């Protein structure tokens, strides 16, 4: 007589998977020395108390290095949502060398980014030819009023403190690691 092979029904097989996951979550240190520590085994964190840091390249908020900005309007033109507002004027600065002609410099009057409209594509940071815009992974700037999401140049400059330095590249890359400019004193 052929003996019928006893197969574990799929239902119980599934229960086993769930049970093992529960054990792994409850005892992340292993079952040999079962110390229950579900907060370490869980994949989530208790947000306001524990914070997960986004990677350095994360597109959280745009920081402005005002010294480098020449009000060339490239970012405002390339922005798909037109959420960057720039106003500037030309000014005569003292000449660099003795006896030279006075230089013409572009002064920034207004640099606003409306984060309510921004879609975080990063095109403005990419097209900036003078290294004035940087991404910061900071993300906690939600506001009760939508108008307050319009960050002016002062607020954008303050984000410069949170900009992390650029990461090194993986082997075989020919990219050059860029440097983040030193923050100027706060306005």
Contacting residues toward another protein, per CB under 8 A: 9-11, 13-14, 16-18, 21, 43, 54-59, 78, 80, 119-123, 126-127, 135, 167-175
- Of the pair 67, 72, the CB lying nearest another protein is at 72
**Is residue 183 within 8 Å of 134, Cβ to Cβ?**
no
- Of the pair 39, 56, the CB lying nearest another protein is at 56
- Of the pair 42, 184, the CB lying nearest another protein is at 42
Q: Is residue 38 classed as helix, strand or coil in its secondary structure? A: helix
- Of the pair 31, 105, the CB lying nearest another protein is at 31
β-bridge pairing 133-136 and 103-114? unpaired
Smallest gap, in angstroms, from Cβ of residue 26 to another protein?
15
- Of the pair 67, 138, the CB lying nearest another protein is at 138
Smallest gap, in angstroms, from Cβ of residue 135 to another protein?
7
CA–CA separation, 59 and 40 (whole Å): 27
CA–CA separation, 169 and 92 (whole Å): 42
**Cβ atoms within 10 A of the Cβ of 148, count?**
13
Smallest gap, in angstroms, from Cβ of residue 61 to another protein?
12
Smallest gap, in angstroms, from Cβ of residue 171 to another protein?
7
Smallest gap, in angstroms, from Cβ of residue 154 to another protein?
25
Nearest to 163 by CA among 143, 181, 148: 181
CA–CA separation, 44 and 28 (whole Å): 14
């Amino acid at each position: 007589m052929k003996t019928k092979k006893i197969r574990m029904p799929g239902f119980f097989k599934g229960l086993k998977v769930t049970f093992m996951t529960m054990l792994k979550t409850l005892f992340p240190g292993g079952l040999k020395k079962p110390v229950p520590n579900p907060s370490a085994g869980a994949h989530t964190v208790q947000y306001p108390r524990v914070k997960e840091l986004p990677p350095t390249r994360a597109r959280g908020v745009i920081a402005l290095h005002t010294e480098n900005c020449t009000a060339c309007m490239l970012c405002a033109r390339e922005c798909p949502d037109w959420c960057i507002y720039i106003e500037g004027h030309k000014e005569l600065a003292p000449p660099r060398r003795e006896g030279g002609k006075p230089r013409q410099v572009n002064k920034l009057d207004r640099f606003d980014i409306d984060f309510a409209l921004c879609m975080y594509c990063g095109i403005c940071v990419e097209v900036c030819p003078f290294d004035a815009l940087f991404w910061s992974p900071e993300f906690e700037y939600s506001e009760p009023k939508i108008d307050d999401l319009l960050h002016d140049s002062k607020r954008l400059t303050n984000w410069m403190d949170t900009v992390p330095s650029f990461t090194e590249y993986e082997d075989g890359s020919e990219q050059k690691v860029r440097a983040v400019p030193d923050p100027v004193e706060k306005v």
